[in-house]
Amino acid sequence: MKKALALLLSAVFMLSVFAGCTSNNSSSSTTSIQPMQQLRVGMECAYAPFNWTQTDRSNGAVPISNDATGYANGYDVQMAKKIADNLGMELVIVAIQWDGLITALNSGTIDLVVAGMSPTDERKQSIDFTDYYYKSDLVIVVKKDGPYAGAKALADFSGAKITGQQGTTHYDVIDQIPGVKKQVAGTDFPAMIVSLKSGIIDGYVSERPGALSAVSANPDLTFVGFAEGKGFTYDVNQSYVAIGVKKGSDLLDKVNGALASISDDTRSQLMNEAIVNSAALD
């Protein structure tokens, strides 16, 4: 009797051990790798060479999350990739019209605005900005064979029909041109290029990288840069670009840390590549 009881207890113990091992193994086999946290970055995807839309993954393009067939590329995209890698996060690009970017950031639709945006005092009332990630100056894009191609100073644009993108410093500084015929603000740069080539406008204000990209893709265009004291007057915060972050977000310090790890040489290389690649699309 005692022997039988001992055998029974031994059998129960072994079954318990087996069941425990089975349970543990089952738990291990069904454990999945947790997905990386997403870094949702908003941009127009229409402001070359900072950002644009293309139809494939060439040259390191990234799928646009809200465009089933589009891929985003450009300086902003490549910088965003480096930031996401540094933070150990998955980059997600969200295409948003320019005037909706800050709203999307504050609503939580996106985590960052990486869109060639300047940290103006007005924008700083709504969102925070990181350190600069590109420094530039303002120029005017014109027709190569037009009457303003040889301009040297703002005064040379007296009587010209000039515009800039809506909601930007580019549009605001037009008022500094004496005698200018300020036109309705442009919705985006491709539309302004079309207006310029068709003669609807005589020129539009742009940051130098955008002008270089436009001229590379359109040989009939050129741009006018200005010597010191001959061009627009503005604070560097109105021409340099930074990354928009929701006020109080802990991403601010993290992104600044990521930016600090990207050298000036790397930034110049990325911008040069973006200018070349954007021109090759046309």
> Are 47 and 131 in the same domain?
yes
Do 129 and 251 share a structural domain?
yes
The answer to whether 274 and 208 have CB atoms below 8 angstroms apart is: no
Q: Domain for residue 3, yes or no?
A: no
Residues 179 and 216 in one domain: yes
- What is the b/e burial string over 89-123, where b = at least 16 CB atoms within 10 angstroms of the residue's CB? bebbbbbbebeebbebbeeeebbbbbbbbbbbeeb
- Largest Cα separation within the chain, whole Å, is 115
Provide mean pLDDT across the span 4-14. Answer: 45
Residues 130 and 54 in one domain: yes
The predicted model gives 56-61 an average pLDDT of: 96
Residue 129 and residue 43 share a domain: yes
pLDDT at 33: 58
**CATH number of the domain enclosing 265:** 3.40.190.10
The number of folded domains in the chain is: 2
- 71-125 pLDDT, tens per residue? 999 999 999 999 999 999 999 999 999 999 999 999 999 999 999 999 999 999 9
Q: What is the mean pLDDT of the segment spanning 47-58?
A: 96
What does the pLDDT average to over 215-226?
A: 95
Q: What is the domain range of residue 94?
A: 38-135+240-280
Residue 152 shares a structural domain with residue 230: yes
Residue 2 belongs to a domain? no
Domain membership of residue 33 (yes or no) is no
Give the residue, 160 or 234, on which the prediction is more confident: 160
- Which pair of tokens denotes residue 58? 């060439």
Give me the mean pLDDT over the 245-272 stretch.
Answer: 97
pLDDT digits (tens, 9 = 90+) for 119-170: 999 999 999 999 999 998 999 999 999 999 999 999 999 999 999 999 999 9
Answer yes or no: do 104 and 152 share one domain: no
CB 158 within 8 A of CB 152: no
Tokens 């930031």 found at: 83
At which residue do the structure tokens 């005692």 appear?
Answer: 2
Going by C-beta distance under 8 Å and a sequence separation of 6 or more, which residues neighbour residue 222?
141, 142, 143, 144, 149, 215
Same domain, 174 and 102: no
User: Is residue 29, in this structure, part of any structural domain at all?
Assistant: no
DSSP for 80-142?
Answer: HHHHHHHHT-EEEEEE--GGGHHHHHHHTS-SEEEEEE---HHHHTT-EEEEEEE---EEEEE
